[in-house]
Amino acid sequence: MTQTTVGRITPDAALLTATIPRPRGLLRPARPSEPVAAVVTVPPVLSSSTAPKGHALGLDAALAATLAAAAAMLDLVPMVAAVVAAMAWPLLLLAAGHYRRPVLGESRLARPTRVLGTGVRSAVLVLAVSPWFVTVDLVALAELVAVLSVASSVPALLGARHRRPRVVLAGRPRDVREAMAELRSANTHEVVAACLTRTSKMSLGDLPTYVGFEASSAVAHHHQADSFVVLPGARLSPVEVRRLHWSLAGVGAELYLGTGLLDVEPQRTRVVSTGGIDILHVTSPVLHGPRRLLKDVVERSVALVAFVATLPLLALLCLAIRLETPGPALFRQDRIGRDGVPFTMLKLRSMGVGAEDERSGLTEANEGDGILFKIQLDPRITPLGRRLRRYSLDELPQLWNVVRGDMSLIGPRPALPCEVARYDTDPRRRLVVKPGVTGLWQVSGRSDLSWAESVRLDLKYVDNWSLRLDLLILARTVQAVLGHRGAY
């Protein structure tokens, strides 16, 4: 793979109405140890970047015409009403912003939801004006609008799966490489080019790479980018950012500015103006208060009901464990809870009785990185225990820990004392809340995660906790248990 590097790019005069000043320190002469970049010009884009918009609009217009004609032929609505509905429907979607370019941070269901929302509002409007149109069956017309909504939401959903936002990254080479790794691991964006503050010895693969920001809009237009992301450290002044925004708007690309924040959800931030400057305010995490109290009461109540309901199953599993191997069916282990307070965690025993004593002899077989100890094919696990772990049935007794108040249903991974003893600053942040039976770490891969990934997910949960996030994790837990990913 080769890196396409451009030393200086020439902006298209038709695209830039204002010259963007050169950022401080950019396009300096290359040092002798640095590769000298070639000088080329970004060619103009001949194809229209709005083609997907036209295709989607044409498809919705064709669907609307077909369904409206069918409704008129079946005498469900008058021909005039059917024609009006067929013509108005694509225009309503256009007004709702359905055909605009995909934006960063937009979920896969955003476009289908927007279509259905437009249909609901249109149907309500049709029913609201029914007293003034007594000659038209507006209920049937509202049903036609509902059918149009469902029909248009299907291609919107399929298109969302294949159409990923095209992104140009701008910043220091190291920052661009890190951002590329993040975006590609998420697999929700397509990085099409990069604008660097300086030349770099490390290759970005076959990604087209340019040095300098003078022709950023030309780069975005050439690669038909939806978004231009300026990463922290790009060293652009406020005036330069404003002019960059103007030039990008001229080619239909959105400007995004990196904040330097790590794993902060949007609902915790807002832009405020004070003293003539615009600043980003980040709210404090919710660690105490009424919402935390509500979470504790609800989780302990739900855990009590679930524990009582699963008692017959627990009894059968305990009997099966005792019949397979000698020893107690329940495994008790010290874990560290909120504020570093130890507690005894309960699990169904999935290993032999002497598993803890055998751990020291398996140190060389440890497949975990950092602090975690894990072996995918752990010889200490019994055949029944492997099936219990596969379906997370070994964790059912932890419902009693939730009832007692030692744990939460959703929270960070419960840590061993030996692990906490090796914690540095960041992992200790996990201890400000109760550990959970499930959490982001479980629904994101469990044992397949590295130590750094596990810590990052737990810290993201702690700092961005909300009742809505807990509900999302519960829904994903079902999928994770059925999918068996990382269950060993």
* Among 142-151, 235-244, 282-291, the least confident range: 142-151
State the pTM of this model.
Answer: 0.72
* Among 168-182, 201-215, 248-262, the least confident range: 201-215
The arithmetic mean of pLDDT across residues 452-465, rounded, is 92
Total structural domains in the chain? 3
322 in the same domain as 444: yes
Question: pLDDT category, 12, cuts 50, 70, 90?
Answer: very low
Task: Kindly tell me if the per-residue pLDDT of 399 is higher than 90.
Answer: yes
The arithmetic mean of pLDDT across residues 176-203, rounded, is 85
Using only C-alpha atoms, the chain has a radius of gyration, in whole angstroms, of 29
Asked, for residue 488, whether it belongs to a domain, the answer is no
Asked, for residue 30, whether it belongs to a domain, the answer is no
Helices 311-324 and 383-390: crossing angle in degrees, nearest 10, is 150
Task: Kindly tell me if the per-residue pLDDT of 98 is higher than 90.
Answer: no
Q: What's the pLDDT score for residue 336?
A: 95
Question: Which comes out higher in pLDDT, residue 302 or 80?
Answer: 302
Helices 79-95 and 51-73: crossing angle in degrees, nearest 10, is 160
118 in the same domain as 139: yes
User: Which residues partner with 190 through β-bridges?
Assistant: 166
Asked, for residue 45, whether it belongs to a domain, the answer is no
> How far, in Å, CA of 477 to CA of 156, rounded?
27
118 in the same domain as 254: no
192 in the same domain as 157: no
Q: Are 410 and 430 in contact (CB under 8 A)?
A: no
Residue where one domain finishes, among candidates 136, 162, 188? 162
What HEC string does 278-296 produce? EEEEECCCCCCCHHHHHHH
Q: What percent of the chain has pLDDT over 70?
A: 80
Asked, for residue 280, whether it belongs to a domain, the answer is no
Asked, for residue 314, whether it belongs to a domain, the answer is yes
How does the average pLDDT of the chain come out, rounded? 80
* Among 26-30, 112-116, 214-218, the least confident range: 26-30
73 in the same domain as 110: yes
State which residues form the domain around 181: 165-260
Task: Kindly tell me if the per-residue pLDDT of 355 is higher than 60.
Answer: yes
> How far, in Å, CA of 150 to CA of 72, rounded?
19
Asked, for residue 337, whether it belongs to a domain, the answer is yes
Q: How confident is the model over 40-81, as pLDDT tens digits?
A: 445 454 344 444 456 778 888 888 888 888 888 887 777 887
Q: What is the CATH number of the domain that holds 192?
A: 3.40.50.720
172 in the same domain as 135: no
Q: What's the pLDDT score for residue 8?
A: 46
Number of H helices, E strands in the chain: 16, 12
Residue where one domain finishes, among candidates 162, 192, 223? 162
Task: Kindly tell me if the per-residue pLDDT of 335 is higher than 80.
Answer: yes
Residue where one domain finishes, among candidates 120, 146, 162? 162
Q: What's the pLDDT score for residue 60?
A: 81
Helix (H) or strand (E) holding 195, with range, is strand 190-196
The arithmetic mean of pLDDT across residues 389-417, rounded, is 93
Q: How confident is the model over 135-180, as pLDDT tens digits?
A: 556 677 777 788 888 888 877 667 655 568 899 999 999 999 988 8
> How far, in Å, CA of 417 to CA of 340, rounded?
9
Question: pLDDT category, 16, cuts 50, 70, 90?
Answer: very low
Question: pLDDT category, 407, cuts 50, 70, 90?
Answer: very high
457 in the same domain as 347: yes
> How far, in Å, CA of 337 to CA of 414, rounded?
7
243 in the same domain as 171: yes
355 in the same domain as 214: no
* Residue 105, Ramachandran bin (φ over 0: left; ψ between -120 and 50: alpha; else beta): left
305 in the same domain as 232: no
Q: What's the pLDDT score for residue 9?
A: 46
* Phi, psi angle pair for 280, to nearest 5°: -100, 120
Q: Are 244 and 20 in contact (CB under 8 A)?
A: yes
Asked, for residue 118, whether it belongs to a domain, the answer is yes
Question: Which comes out higher in pLDDT, residue 88 or 465?
Answer: 465
350 in the same domain as 252: no
71 in the same domain as 175: no
Q: What's the pLDDT score for residue 485?
A: 62
The arithmetic mean of pLDDT across residues 392-406, rounded, is 94
* Among 103-112, 385-394, 445-454, the least confident range: 103-112
